[in-house]
Amino acid sequence: NLLRLIFVVISLMSAAFPGILVYLILWLVIPKQQQSRVDYVQGYNQPVKTVYEDQSIKR
């Protein structure tokens, strides 16, 4: 993940070296998000509704 790499580089180049220790602890403690392929694909099956198509918005 690019964000993780940026965090580590900034921590190494600054006085925030303990940030790497915090990162490693959080990396071990926070569980990985479990997302199945079915959940990911179902998000694309939803129709996109524009403002003009939405009948609930009154002008």
- Residues 1-49: tens digit of each pLDDT: 787 787 777 777 776 567 777 777 778 887 776 666 665 566 666 666 6
Domains of the chain by residue range: 2-45
Which three-class secondary structure state does DSSP give residue 33? Answer: coil
Q: How far apart are CA 14 and CA 34, in angstroms?
A: 33
Q: How far apart are CA 42 and CA 20, in angstroms?
A: 37
Q: Give pLDDT, residue 37.
A: 62
Q: What is the pTM of this model?
A: 0.34
Amino acid at 43: G
Q: How far apart are CA 26 and CA 29, in angstroms?
A: 5
Q: Give pLDDT, residue 6.
A: 78
